[in-house]
Amino acid sequence: MSTTPTHASTHTPAAADEFAGKSALVTGAASGIGLEIARRLADAGASVIVADHNEEGAKEAVEAINAAGGRAAAVRVDVTDPESVRRAVEFTAATYGGLQLAVNNAGIAGASAPTGEYGVQDWQRVIDTNLNGVFYSLRHELPLILASGGGAVVNMSSILGSNGFAGSAAYSAAKHAVVGLTKTAAVEYASRGVRVNAVAPGFIDTPLLQDADSQRDYLISLHPQGRLGTAEEVAELTLFLLSDRASFVNGSYHLVDGGYAAR
């Protein structure tokens, strides 16, 4: 018998004009959590740049968003390459004239091995994507957000940004560091009209978990609610943090984890 209860969405979408007149850049937006965030931002009136290393996937996402009445454009980005990130941010400025909202979501799961056996190249690949990629993004986004009159940023951390997990030394280290980077940027830019927060999903039922199918029941068991989370649930929190409804929320690390951290 399955221990996973069915889940019916009870989310109230953001108002159709909540982000009207604002532009948003979402990395890792061709699938999973990033795609859902991009969709919801467009539904709420934002002009969205769908940025991903999978250019075809980004274009398909944009076609779907535009077909649904939103406004979006695609750009290829390799977040491990600071020049690629710079070009993506410049593309945002050229396309929409500025930037008010950014979601630094691109990430990889990486290899699984005990810390003493973790491959150096595997370590570097995860750190380059999950940590350096967030820094490169902030490095180029923040000046443009300032020049655009201020705004908000959400960095995608993880429940492993505050917990360890066997076999995930690089991933956990990177996600912990994203929290520190988020808090530092928040302190630096708070008086200049930019809020920076981090979201910490538990294990979410997205393509990133496809390689972990053999562990699915185990991962479900780690969440007191008895199921994996959904991209919609992460997007709901992310859009709140980007919105003026969260105007006094800054430098915070927000769990969306079905009780994982409360065990």
Whichever domain contains 51, its CATH number is: 3.40.50.720
Residue 17 lies in a domain: no
Domain that holds residue 146: 23-256
Residue 212 lies in a domain: yes
> Which residue in 100, 99, 50, 52 sits closest to 70, CA to CA?
50
Asked if 171 is an active-site residue, the reply is yes
How far is the C-alpha of 7 from the C-alpha of 202, rounded, in Å?
Answer: 16
Residue 80 lies in a domain: yes
How far is the C-alpha of 98 from the C-alpha of 88, rounded, in Å?
Answer: 12
pLDDT at 16: 76
pLDDT at 216: 84
Strand order in the sheet with 151-156: 71-76, 47-52, 23-27, 101-104, 151-156, 194-201, 253-256
Residue 3 lies in a domain: no
pLDDT at 9: 46
- Burial status of residue 113 (CB atoms within 10 A of its CB: 0-12, 13-18, 19 or more): middle
pTM for the complete prediction? 0.92
Mean per-residue pLDDT, 98-105: 98
Residue 2 lies in a domain: no
Q: Per the structure block, which two tokens stand in for 182?
A: 């988020």
Residue 102 lies in a domain: yes
pLDDT at 75: 98
At residue 113, what is the residue type?
Answer: A
Residue 5 lies in a domain: no
pLDDT at 217: 87
Number of structural domains found in the chain? 1
pLDDT at 3: 37
Q: 8 falls in which pLDDT band (50, 70, 90)?
A: very low
Q: Per the structure block, which two tokens stand in for 185?
A: 């940027």
Residue 47 lies in a domain: yes
Q: What percent of the chain has pLDDT over 90?
A: 85
Mean per-residue pLDDT, 79-94: 98
Instruction: State pLDDT tens for residues 122-140.
Output: 999 999 999 999 999 999 9
Instruction: State pLDDT tens for residues 27-67.
Output: 999 999 999 999 999 999 999 999 999 999 999 999 999 99
Strand, coil or helix: 27 = strand
Mean per-residue pLDDT, 243-259: 97
pLDDT at 13: 60
Question: Which one of 171, 189, 253, 260 is the catalytic residue?
Answer: 171
